[in-house]
Amino acid sequence: MHKQSGWIAAGIVAVTMPAGPAVARELVAFDAAAEAGTVVVRTAERRLYFINGDGTAIRYPVAVGKAGKQWTGYARIDGKYLRPAWSPPDEVKRDNPRLPDVIAGGSPSNPMGAAALTLDRGEYAIHGTNRPGSIGTFASYGCIRMYNQDVADLYGRVQVGATVVVTR
């Protein structure tokens, strides 16, 4: 399956989690008016919140877009993929011409990690990573990166069609 310009292809297989932090996510109070199942990304905090609908949210640390690559606004999750293959978008390929056209799902060099939640806004996704040291930083071309075990947790909670709100 290809997403828009062919930047992601899915292979549905079992997810294996590489070593990382024991538990990066935590349950926190969340007062903002948001419907249960909504995902809120606060770029300045480098945190993603999955809204439970009872005044709490699950908070995850994330990496966000680097300077000039950030975006704000609304999107919807339009796909869920385990161990997706990745094709670099044109902008990434221009900046890194030596990248292959496709990196197979499950490959240690695949930047999508264990799972990806694609968004209906351009070539963006909430996804795992092969660079866990980037979590908590401004590192991407606009995607939201998570620890692999956290994206697997979110994958099990979020539904296709869920609203994603990205704020500064």
Which is catalytic among the residues 118, 127, 149, 153?
127
Is there a catalytic annotation at residue 127? yes
Which token pair is 104? 């197979």
Give the closest residue to 78 by CA, choosing from 148, 152, 8, 130: 8
Annotated active-site residue in 143, 152, 158, 164? 143
Strands (E), the chain: 8-9, 26-29, 39-42, 47-51, 56-65, 73-82, 85-86, 115-119, 125-127, 138-140, 144-146, 163-167
Distances (CA, A) of 76 to 39, 40, 95, 118, 162: 9, 11, 28, 8, 5
**Which residues carry out catalysis?**
127, 143
